[in-house]
Structure 1
Amino acid sequence: MKNILILAAISLPLASQAQKGTFRIEGNIGKLNTPAMAYIDYMSDGVGKEDSAAVTNGKFTFSGVSSGYSYARMALSHDGGGKQKAVYTGDVIYFYFGAEKIKITAADSLANASFTGSKVYDEFQAYNAAIGGTIMDLNKWANGQVSSATPAQRQDTAFLGRINATYRKRMADRANAQIEYAKKHPDSYFGMVALSEGTGTPVDVNRIEPIFNSMSERLRMSDPGRELQQRILAAKTIYVGASAPRFTQTDINGKPLRLDDLKNKYVLVEFWASWCSPCRAENPNLTKQYAKYKNLGFEVIAVSLDDHKDKWLEAIAKDQLPWLHVSDLKGWNNEVGRQYGIRAVPANFLLDENKHIIAMNLRGEQLNKKLAELFGN
């Protein structure tokens, strides 16, 4: 039986807080050789970077530029099965690093590796200890509970429900600990990380905004600070009945497309990505609704949170999506996504002919019923 909990890749917007400069990561994992490969994805100045390296006698090296506090996902393919397999089913870790020379060492896997040479990583570990561990730690615990269960227990909905309830309580406790950490560390980079992640969705403005305002100006003006400020603003201004934020973004041909170009139409602003399985699972239904109502004044503008144009275009073609598509290919740092306070996909906003929000996050039958109500059939 598959694990009941889906492991989500964390993609936090990052900024220059420590000194920007070059980094070098030297890995030494056992005695792995060809076709083993190592992969890294990280953020520098809010821009996603990626690299790969062959593993020879257990060793691999990455180098580049760090904004000071860079968040990374590193995956190791022991059998040369490729990046996707390594990331989603293989040996993968998430960590922060800076403009440093870092060594990652283990006898068998990244999961058991030790880090030396990184003050940023040490600070990250201290932060995790204070809040009760990483999300990956909690996911590992929950998935471990399922994996170690008997076949009968895996079929027992009450048993699985107890695991899920405990997991969600631990996540809630962790979020509360993050908020408290932010209060106590108003000038710490990880204080802002804690506040951003602990805030969650939807934003509790009355609780979060005073803490945000108490953070140092340096942090509030940083990229993660500005991102959280945008989410707070979105929570205040984006609601049913409000005028939708206007935006312009480039389409699949590199031409600018404005929301205001879509005149006298009901518009669904759909946030998605090629890698988002729930998003793509909804596409067949949305395609049917689009065909039914397009000539009656319904339009869809899909804002992709992809950061690779080829994967974005491939998903559009494979799913045969006939509506309008835009993206700046900045991933989670998509400017429209940040403007709308998007922290998870799928997400959407249904607008009337005057670009006022009339509904949010409609999918499946809920969307179908709303469109039938609007168009009378």
Structure 2
Amino acid sequence: MKRILLLAAVALPLAGQAQQGAFTIEGHIGKLSSPAMAYIDYMSNGVGKEDSAVVTNGKFTFTGLSTGYSYARLALSHDGSGKQKAVYTGDVIYFYYGKEKIKITSGDSLANATFSGSKVYDEFTAYNKAIGGTIMELNKWANGQVSAATPEQQKDTAFFGRINVEYRRRMKARADAQIVYAQQHPQSYFGMVALSEGTGTPVDVKKIAPIYNAMSKSLRESDQGRELGQRILAAKTIHVGASAPMFTQQDVHGKPLKLEDIKSKYVLVEFWASWCGPCRAENPNLTKQYAKYKSQGFEVVAISLDDHKDKWEEAIAKDQLPWLHVSDLKGWNNEVGRQYGIRAVPANFLLDENKNIIAMNLRGEELNKKLSELFGN
């Protein structure tokens, strides 16, 4: 699952960009009342936060701390059916804000809301206009094309193929525009946002590194700037034949586990999360391979990008995953994930006994074949 689809995927706040200060978000959406609920997820100094509020007479309020530029996902459950439904199928918006008192107003929904009181949001709006819109707007366009299709078109695979081609063209044009924006705005917060998001995976080091190095020192030293710097470094140094970066992280019992202490012939460093469908779908196959080769010297170290321990442990138990598990519960800010330049999960690195990388991103039959070759059965 790509990071771009998640809250932290678009951007992280700039730690050190400014001292923390209070923000207030006041919403007034129509005349909604109980059981309507509002939910917010936001980043504060590199740490994910979440909150909820009851909607009364269309009004709700959130307060917290911002470093000057913060990013949030705000979802509104009109019928009180819960956060998950509101976030993935309901009324949801994504936006930047600062140490400000922001008002969000609409007669019917967040999707049609107007913002006032936020200079950061105004900068965000101007930035999106320059690059061709937000990801959400592009998704809305694609969904609109599908919804407007005739019954005949709904049965036509070529029709959906054309939508997909056009969607990908628009996404690429947006990413290209982001790189240009970063080149033209090396002192701008949204210049770093543009470069981070437009860089994509894998990182084109020759193209991206010079633009990154031309950004202001304060931006490069920010949390988001450091994260992009780590991705560039990982693209340079983490590859087949290279030594895997060493790390230490706590297991589910809070005990530190060091990669260098694992004495196995082969170690699979697996990045996953409880919320990642493709990761969970691969678990049955990996479980079979682990049972087959564990006694012959095969080990798995699973690094979770979860930020809730209960969900992490629940997924381990439900999928019956017997290997080693670690996490710092920082979500996409997981220190090992950043060290390895992870921008999408599942992702993995197969190491030999000397901790050299011998393969990357093996799943399903590719993984099975590789393990069979290594162990000779």
**TM-score range with shorter-chain normalisation?**
over 0.9
Q: Which residue does the alignment assign to 1:66? A: 66
Cα distance per residue 1:295-346 (max 9 Å; x no partner): 1111111100111111111111111111111000001100000000001111
Quote the residue 1:343 is aligned against.
343
Alignment correspondent of 2:6:
9
| Residue aligning to 2:266 | 266
- Which position in structure 2 is the counterpart of 1:203? 203
Aligned to 2:252: 252
Q: Which moved more, 1:109-118 or 1:142-151?
A: 142-151
Deviation, 1:14, is 1.8
Whether 1:302 and 2:332 are equivalent positions in the alignment is no
1:25-64 mapped onto 2 (5 Å cutoff): 25-64=25-64
Matched residue, 2:113 = 113
Q: Is the 8 A contact 2:264 2:298 kept in 1?
A: no
What TM-score results when the alignment is normalised by the length of structure 2?
Answer: 0.97
The answer to whether the 8 A contact 2:203-2:235 is kept is yes
Alignment correspondent of 1:126 = 126
Q: Could you tell me how far 1:264 is from its partner in structure 2?
A: 3.0
Residue matched to 2:85:
85
CA distance in 2, matches of 1:344, 1:91: 25
Partner of 2:182: 182
Q: Distance in 1 between matches of 2:330 and 2:133?
A: 28
Q: For the Cα contact (< 8 Å) 1:247–1:336, is it kept in 2? A: yes
Relative to structure 1, is the Cα distance of residues 7 and 327 closer, same or farther in structure 2, using a 3 angstrom cutoff? closer
8 Å CA contact 1:264–1:354 kept in 2: the answer is no
Taking the aligned partners of 1:172 and 1:30, their CA distance within structure 2 comes to 37
Point out 4+ residue stretches in structure 1 off by more than 6 angstroms: none
Query: Could you tell me the percent identity over the aligned residues?
Result: 79
Deviation at 1:18, TM superposition (A): 4.2
The 3-state SS of whatever aligns with 1:35 is coil
SS at match of 1:267: strand
How far is the alpha carbon of 1:6 from its aligned partner?
A: 12
Residue 355 of structure 1 corresponds to 355
Deviation at 1:151, TM superposition (A): 3.1
The Cα of 1:157 is off from its aligned counterpart by 1.6
The alignment's C-alpha RMSD in Å is 1.3
Q: Deviations over 1:145-176 (max 9, x none)?
A: 11211233223221111110110111111001
List gaps (5 residues or longer) in structure 1: none
Q: Report which stretch shifted further, 6-15 or 47-56.
A: 6-15
Deviation at 1:7, TM superposition (A): 8.9
Aligned to 2:323: 323
Contact residue 24 and residue 100 of structure 1 kept, 8 A: yes
- Look up the match of 2:166: 166
Classify 1:48/1:26 alpha carbon distance in 2 versus 1 (closer, same or farther; 3 Å): same
**Structure 1 CA distance for aligned equivalents of residues 176 and 62 of structure 2:** 35
| Number of aligned residue pairs | 373
Q: Deviations over 1:260-291 (max 9, x none)?
A: 11113311111111111111111111111111
Match of 2:191 in 1: 191
